[in-house]
């Protein structure tokens, strides 16, 4: 499997010739320059990304008869190798004035043949540093979940992030991003991620503060207070989450880490439980286009329960060890790269289980 994935990595790299890279970069720079020079409103700015991914069947599936390799969690069932379009996401921004713009992002699912609206919001810029957002978008909690997949250093996010991050929600928030000081965001949201209705009858308060300690070091904290009502239930389950984060970036090294706590509802347990998780990634630039990534993450969705009879993603603690290579055809936005990750996943309590395999992703943006 590993040799096959490496061959795929080399094939994808060969498809992205330097000439294409230079042309796309030039076109992007020219497009950006036109928008910056043009003060005629309204105008539309278009961006997007495509991610083509290979998941090794040796990673296993979390569902019996599913045969799709799992992206996260314990995988106790057979799976098959899979190559698929993981992301096909065009975005459009409609600028009505220097202060007001509408943002949209769509996901085109080529497997299920459908289009989903991910972001739909209006932004009002009070200044270059302070703005107001209203609509549906990613909530300001944590770092790995809030950051776009086109920028993070691993193919799959950590279990803690995937299962504790609130994802997109409908709400209103204020953000202040000041160079040399940090990035601060606070908002009120419906509290029912993946939906457009407020089934729980109350708003959630979610916020994140990231401080720039130096040019290389940023530290931050996040909080989430609210409730969640599962589909078909008349009971609201409390949501109380907190996180601490750290990013260090001084060439040739990068270090990223988060610690997340949850008391109440989480996607893994689907109940009122205490959960805890963390991750850390170390990135070393081997050459201008090539990074080495070493990572470890651990997550326990229910710190008070253990299932000794089966690999239970709702109760049992697990971890992931990761080694990866990221080859960049362009580090500048939009990022153009090929990623190779080798993962080892293991159950840390209860029913013993481990799996390992590779993931490969080709990513291009415009």
- Cβ-contact 113, 97 below 8 angstroms: no
Cα–Cα distance, 296 to 180 (Å, whole number): 30
Cα–Cα distance, 248 to 153 (Å, whole number): 13
The two tokens of residue 344 are 């080892």
What does the pLDDT profile of the chain (366 residues) look like in tens digits? Answer: 544 544 455 444 444 444 444 444 444 444 444 444 457 999 999 999 999 999 999 999 988 877 899 999 999 899 999 999 999 999 999 999 999 999 999 999 998 899 999 999 999 999 999 999 999 999 999 999 999 999 999 999 999 999 999 889 999 999 999 999 999 999 999 987 665 566 777 899 999 999 999 999 999 999 999 998 887 777 889 999 999 999 999 999 999 999 999 999 999 999 999 999 999 999 999 999 999 999 999 999 999 999 999 999 999 999 999 999 999 999 998 899 999 999 999 999 999 999 999 999 999 999
- Cβ-contact 200, 300 below 8 angstroms: no
Burial of residue 156, with CB atoms counted within 10 A of its CB: 0-12 exposed, 13-18 middle, 19 or more buried: buried
DSSP 13: H
The two tokens of residue 124 are 């009002």
- Cβ-contact 94, 101 below 8 angstroms: yes
Strands 336-347 and 318-330: antiparallel
Residues 6 or more apart whose Cβ sits within 8 Å of residue 189: 139, 166, 169, 170, 171, 173, 203, 204, 206, 226
> For 57-114, what is each residue's pLDDT tens digit?
999 998 887 789 999 999 989 999 999 999 999 999 999 999 999 999 999 999 889 9
Cα–Cα distance, 178 to 128 (Å, whole number): 9
The domains of the chain are located at 2-27+43-365
Distance of CA 114 to the CA centre of its chain: 21
Neighbours of 311 (CB within 10 A): 21
Q: Does domain 2-27+43-365 have CATH number 2.40.160.10?
A: yes
Distances (CA, A) of 317 to 22, 121, 205, 265, 312: 46, 37, 28, 17, 9
Cα–Cα distance, 168 to 159 (Å, whole number): 17
Residues 6 or more apart whose Cβ sits within 8 Å of residue 243: 141, 142, 164, 221, 222, 223, 258, 259, 260, 261
Q: Which of 277, 257, 271 is nearest to 319 (CA)?
A: 277
């Amino acid at each position: 499997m590993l040799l096959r994935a490496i061959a795929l990595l080399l094939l994808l790299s060969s498809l992205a010739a330097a000439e294409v890279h230079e042309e796309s970069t030039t076109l992007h720079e020219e497009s950006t320059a036109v928008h910056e020079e043009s003060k005629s409103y309204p105008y539309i700015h278009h961006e997007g990304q495509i991610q083509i991914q290979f998941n090794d069947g040796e990673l296993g599936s979390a569902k019996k008869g599913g045969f799709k390799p799992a992206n996260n969690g314990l995988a106790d069932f057979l799976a098959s190798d899979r190559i698929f379009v993981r992301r096909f996401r065009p975005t459009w921004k409609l600028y009505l004035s220097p202060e007001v713009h509408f943002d949209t992002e769509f996901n085109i699912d080529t497997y299920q043949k459908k289009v989903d609206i991910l972001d739909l919001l209006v932004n009002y810029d009070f200044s270059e540093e302070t703005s107001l957002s209203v609509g549906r978008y990613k909530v300001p909690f944590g770092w790995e979940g809030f950051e776009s997949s086109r920028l993070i250093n691993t193919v799959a996010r950590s279990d803690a992030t995937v299962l504790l991050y609130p994802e997109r929600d409908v709400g209103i928030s204020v953000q202040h991003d000041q160079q040399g000081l940090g990035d601060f965001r606070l908002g009120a949201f419906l509290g029912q991620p993946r939906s457009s209705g407020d089934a729980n009858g109350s708003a959630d308060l979610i916020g994140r503060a990231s401080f720039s300690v130096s040019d290389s070091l940023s530290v931050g904290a996040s909080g989430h207070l609210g409730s969640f009502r599962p589909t078909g239930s008349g009971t609201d389950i409390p949501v109380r989450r907190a996180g601490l984060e750290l990013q260090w970036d001084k060439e040739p090294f990068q270090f990223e880490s988060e610690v997340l706590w949850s008391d109440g509802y989480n996607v893994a347990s689907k109940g009122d439980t205490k959960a805890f998780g963390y991750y850390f990634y170390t990135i070393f630039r081997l050459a201008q286009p090539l990074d080495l990534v070493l990572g470890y993450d651990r997550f326990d969705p229910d710190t008070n329960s253990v299932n000794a009879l089966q690999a239970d993603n709702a109760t049992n603690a697990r971890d992931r060890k990761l080694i990866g290579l990221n080859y960049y055809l362009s580090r500048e936005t939009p990022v153009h790269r090929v990623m190779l990750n080798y993962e080892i996943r293991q159950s840390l309590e209860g029913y013993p289980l481990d799996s390992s395999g590779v993931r490969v992703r080709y990513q291009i943006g415009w």
